[in-house]
A and B are shown apart, each in its own frame.
Chain A
């Protein structure tokens, strides 16, 4: 059999097979699919695909003599090579044989004012160290919506009330003749409850360990009052004798989150940038992006994702070639043909 014929058949087989495997991978979910496509048999398939693509360019004359066909196939080849080079196995291979210290990706969780070079994996284990430090100056989250109180009336379990957390406003719950008045009495940065003579009282605690909360009040139709304390970061705090249960519900729809970062190398600030989702920082072969954020007893923290750009230049160059090759071959050439024919008939 001629070499070109063999390459053609294997190529067709690989394209069809990869399409079927992609559909299979879609059923596995992203994490398992990633593991599947990185597994040794599949890694072998990627390498065979590279060889077949390269073989195609060598043995099919058309793929060399027609510029757009060449760009299309060489572009795909470059994308695959860049992908293999920057893959977990590719980096592991280079670390093993060439003693480099590369890694594919990791996370750096930081509180405001903190610096760290330590990378964690997605389970939180330490997995490496950058040759420089990342410093978080400030982190901010903006929301479309605001925080709310979710109020459950035990006397009328059919209804849940959602009331915006706003100081100085009075809300009326239930039908007008039996309406219950509700409002915030006072908000605290660090709400602490002290036992005093005749009951409990809320006081503002020291500022170093924030524990935001609110003292809220219900005025019942008979004039009776219920005072309750609602913590933002703790579970429901309600006594059985109360008619209402109040929960704090943080805003649900983030609009933007951003971290003001600096890279500190040899004690000097090298770059400073406010990174947002879709607007990362590139530095020395790594990309720093706004991965996520969280909150614990120390307050808000930002999770900076660090991803190696190894192989990225090849991948993006391949994308450019692929795009030029396809638009050129399938759009520009037929269009030129169309206009030529039109010129001949008129």
Chain B
């Protein structure tokens, strides 16, 4: 836990504050003001992202700070897309988007160190940007799906939430797949193998399989077991979190598993 006193840190905190204000204003019923704060939050996150790019000289998707900053920026366009095309725009969902922005930017602002790392040879590939970018988009969409699903599990209108979560998973799954496939092609070029059984690869595969299971389950049973459908969308996000944080989480397993050593 550390507070960043740099310009980058300040802009991240500004973005968090603006996203937070968008939550408050929406809950208080100021719909237009919410949009204004949310848009400003996105602009600040995008500003921080651009600044980071200028500082490091490469697309900022390498270190954990950069990854969470990218996620915090991507929340903006994903929220807009879902309002416009998936009609997910009730108070809960919109307040949820702002909250998602705050929660995602928190690790960038307070947990991970800002020190830039030079790009190692393996990451110097034209596939680096697209591979990470589609994953970031997919993760945000799936996070929104899990948010709607949780609302359905513990709140009212489970049927409607289930449909919203399903539409979100349908939006996110091709992106998740694209990330996996691009990573595999990249692996072939950089390491010679299109699949290497690496823990991060296996977690990504597990995520993909959970959503594949979800689609098949829903295809067979439809909306007969709403709670199970909703739970699966939440389990999917759990796997995504493990994938995203595995490098950090794996430290917990030192001594138990040779991987960490």
CA distance A69 to B79 in the complex (A): 28
Task: State the Cβ distance, B228 to closest chain A Cβ, in Å.
Answer: 12
Q: Is B154 an interface residue (CB 8 A)?
A: no
CA distance A112 to B153 in the complex (A): 64
Q: Are B121 and A254 in contact (CB under 8 A)?
A: yes
Q: Kindly identify, within residues 300 to 346 of chain A, every residue whose CB is under 8 Å from any CB belonging to chain B.
A: 305-307, 312, 315-316, 319, 322-323, 326-327, 330-331, 334, 338
Q: Are B206 and A307 in contact (CB under 8 A)?
A: no
CA distance A316 to B189 in the complex (A): 13
Closest-by-CB residue of A relative to B209 is A19
Q: Are A29 and B124 in contact (CB under 8 A)?
A: no
Q: Kindly identify, within residues 89 to 107 of chain B, every residue whose CB is under 8 Å from any CB belonging to chain A.
A: none
Task: State the Cβ distance, B193 to closest chain A Cβ, in Å.
Answer: 6
Q: Which of A8-16, A121-129, A263-271 contacts B (4 or more CB under 8 A)?
A: A8-16
Q: Are A289 and B190 in contact (CB under 8 A)?
A: yes
Q: Are B259 and A29 in contact (CB under 8 A)?
A: yes
Q: Mark A245-280, 1 if CB is under 8 A from B, else 0.
A: 000000001111100000000000000000011111
Q: Is A37 an interface residue (CB 8 A)?
A: yes
CA distance A256 to B118 in the complex (A): 11
Q: Is B212 an interface residue (CB 8 A)?
A: yes
- Given A30-B197, A254-B120; A330-B173 close (CB under 8 Å): yes
CA distance A18 to B170 in the complex (A): 21
CA distance A315 to B258 in the complex (A): 31
Task: State the Cβ distance, B175 to closest chain A Cβ, in Å.
Answer: 9
Closest-by-CB residue of B relative to A277 is B121
Task: State the Cβ distance, A49 to closest chain B Cβ, in Å.
Answer: 11
Q: Mark B179-192, 1 if CB is under 8 A from A, else 0.
A: 00100111011111
Q: Are B213 and A19 in contact (CB under 8 A)?
A: yes
Q: Are B258 and A29 in contact (CB under 8 A)?
A: yes
Task: State the Cβ distance, B139 to closest chain A Cβ, in Å.
Answer: 17
Closest-by-CB residue of B relative to A333 is B170
Q: Are A312 and B196 in contact (CB under 8 A)?
A: no
Q: Is A200 an interface residue (CB 8 A)?
A: no
Q: Are B206 and A23 in contact (CB under 8 A)?
A: yes
Closest-by-CB residue of A relative to B236 is A19
Q: Is A114 an interface residue (CB 8 A)?
A: no
Q: Are A15 and B213 in contact (CB under 8 A)?
A: yes
> What is the number of residues of chain A that contact chain B, defined by CB distance less than 8 Å?
53
Q: Is A287 an interface residue (CB 8 A)?
A: yes
Q: Are A33 and B202 in contact (CB under 8 A)?
A: yes
Q: Are A289 and B192 in contact (CB under 8 A)?
A: yes
Q: Is B226 an interface residue (CB 8 A)?
A: no
> Among the listed A144, A290, A327, which residue makes an inter-chain contact with B118, where contact means beta carbons less than 8 Å apart?
A144
Q: Are A278 and B185 in contact (CB under 8 A)?
A: no
Task: State the Cβ distance, A307 to closest chain B Cβ, in Å.
Answer: 4
Q: Is B217 an interface residue (CB 8 A)?
A: yes
Q: Are B121 and A291 in contact (CB under 8 A)?
A: no
- Given A11-B216, A276-B121, A277-B124; A25-B202 close (CB under 8 Å): yes
CA distance A257 to B200 in the complex (A): 25
CA distance A29 to B118 in the complex (A): 26
Closest-by-CB residue of B relative to A309 is B188
Q: Are A334 and B170 in contact (CB under 8 A)?
A: yes
> Among the listed A11, A306, A330, which residue makes an inter-chain contact with B174, where contact means beta carbons less than 8 Å apart?
A330
Provide the residues of chain A in CB contact with B178, threshold 8 Å.
323, 327
CA distance A30 to B203 in the complex (A): 12
Q: Is B171 an interface residue (CB 8 A)?
A: yes
> Among the listed B125, B173, B193, B220, which residue makes an inter-chain contact with A326, where contact means beta carbons less than 8 Å apart?
B173
- Given A22-B205, A278-B124; A30-B174 close (CB under 8 Å): no
CA distance A26 to B247 in the complex (A): 11
Task: State the Cβ distance, B176 to closest chain A Cβ, in Å.
Answer: 9
Q: Is A34 an interface residue (CB 8 A)?
A: yes
Q: Is B225 an interface residue (CB 8 A)?
A: no
Q: Are B210 and A19 in contact (CB under 8 A)?
A: yes
Closest-by-CB residue of B relative to A11 is B216
Provide the residues of chain B in CB contact with A29, threshold 8 Å.
199, 257-259
CA distance A25 to B205 in the complex (A): 11
Q: Are B190 and A316 in contact (CB under 8 A)?
A: no
Q: Are B212 and A323 in contact (CB under 8 A)?
A: no
Q: Is A83 an interface residue (CB 8 A)?
A: yes
Q: Are A277 and B246 in contact (CB under 8 A)?
A: no
Provide the residues of chain A in CB contact with B199, threshold 8 Å.
25-27, 29-30, 33
Task: State the Cβ distance, A72 to closest chain B Cβ, in Å.
Answer: 9
CA distance A28 to B199 in the complex (A): 8
Q: Are A32 and B205 in contact (CB under 8 A)?
A: no
CA distance A330 to B170 in the complex (A): 6
- Given A18-B209, A277-B124, A323-B177; A27-B192 close (CB under 8 Å): no
Q: Are B121 and A256 in contact (CB under 8 A)?
A: yes
Closest-by-CB residue of A relative to B177 is A326
Interface residue ranges, A against B (CB under 8 Å): 8, 11-12, 15-16, 18-20, 22-23, 25-34, 37, 83, 105, 144, 253-257, 276-280, 287, 289-291, 305-307, 312, 315-316, 319, 322-323, 326-327, 330-331, 334, 338
Q: Can you name 24 A-B residue pairings with CB atoms under 8 Å?
A: A8-B216, A12-B213, A12-B216, A15-B212, A15-B213, A26-B206, A27-B259, A32-B258, A33-B198, A33-B202, A34-B197, A83-B195, A254-B120, A255-B118, A255-B121, A256-B124, A278-B186, A305-B191, A306-B192, A312-B194, A316-B194, A319-B185, A327-B174, A327-B178
A sample of 4 more A-B contacts (CB under 8 A), given A34-B196, A254-B121, A278-B125, is A22-B202, A22-B205, A25-B202, A277-B124
The 7 closest A-B pairs by CB, nearest first: A29-B259, A307-B192, A19-B209, A277-B121, A22-B206, A34-B197, A26-B199
